[in-house]
Structure 1
């Protein structure tokens, strides 16, 4: 059995005007559903988080 994919939470919890957390770059919905997601769903969210982080740096 594989280990659960860890949350990207950094304890800076505030949503911006687009509904994206300024700390972990997840949407409010992704944050709410995280504990019920499969590892594959979590990996998909983390890929989206990486894209959002890159766009935030531009």
Structure 2
């Protein structure tokens, strides 16, 4: 066995990943979990407090992906 700590323990904040891993081209956040690429890649090494801060910020990011860019309003200029 190794002396390395386990990758995940029950008292840690679990990843918000929902296996829809697509980075939005303009917002630069994952359309599934709403994290940035940097947050995704460093998640396993983050402290509990850093993870909690990100989890708290995720709901505020969702509206950034809700903007419609097409449809009737775009064609007629009714924005």
TM-score w.r.t. the length of structure 1 is 0.85
TM-score w.r.t. the length of structure 2 is 0.64
Runs ≥4 in structure 1, deviation > 3 angstroms? none
Q: Say how many residue pairs are matched.
A: 56
Task: Give, in whole Å, the separation in 1 of the partners of 2:66 and 2:48.
Answer: 27
Larger % of helix: which? 1
The residue that corresponds to 1:30 in the other structure is 39
Summarize deviations over 1:16-49 as a string: whole Å, max 9, x none. 0121000000001100110000111001001111
Gaps of 5+ in 2: 1-9, 68-79
**Larger relative contact order (C-alpha < 8 A, sep ≥ 6)?**
1
Gaps of 5+ in 1: none
